Amino acid sequence: MIFLHILAANAEIWLNIFMMGGGVQAHEDCQSFYERYYQSICFDSGQLYAIMRSMNKNSQSSIEELHAYVYGRVQGVGYRYFVVQKAHTLALHGYARNESDGSVEVLAQGPRPALEQLLSYLRQGPSAARVRDVRVTWSTPTEHISGFHVRW
């Protein structure tokens, strides 16, 4: 995956390049999700997709924040890296980190539909995980987080 984020005085421009399965279904999935929720354009080049989206200052009001704590067997099973991969695919900002009580904290920023999709992934987890509970709070972002990464 390649992510380019340009922040100017009046606009943000994002370019995400990632691999998908290819074919008509993959292109339709790209269009139906990204073009619908991100004011984006999907470019198809075989299995490589480029998504360009721009946001002006007025569209920032549509950005929300999801703060979740995930409980169960979620440490030592690749859960944080699973979250990072899903968040990158959804073009979200934020982080995932282990907590001392055995849970994983996830903070994500973006449009509500993408955050709701991430939430469904959080409840599922990677195959080695066993998610018992996800506690969620919604708010407006109080700080801008660049990218999505594992935080220590």
| Residues labelled as active-site residues | 80, 98
The two tokens of residue 84 are: 């990072």
DSSP class of residue 10 equals S
What residues have CB less than 8 Å from 77, skipping those under 6 apart?
125, 126, 128, 129
112-124 vs 79-89: helix crossing angle, rounded to 10: 150
Q: First CA to last CA across the chain, in angstroms?
A: 22
- The HSE-up count of residue 99 (CA atoms within 13 Å, CB side) is 15
**Helices within the chain (DSSP H only):** 23-30, 36-38, 79-89, 112-124
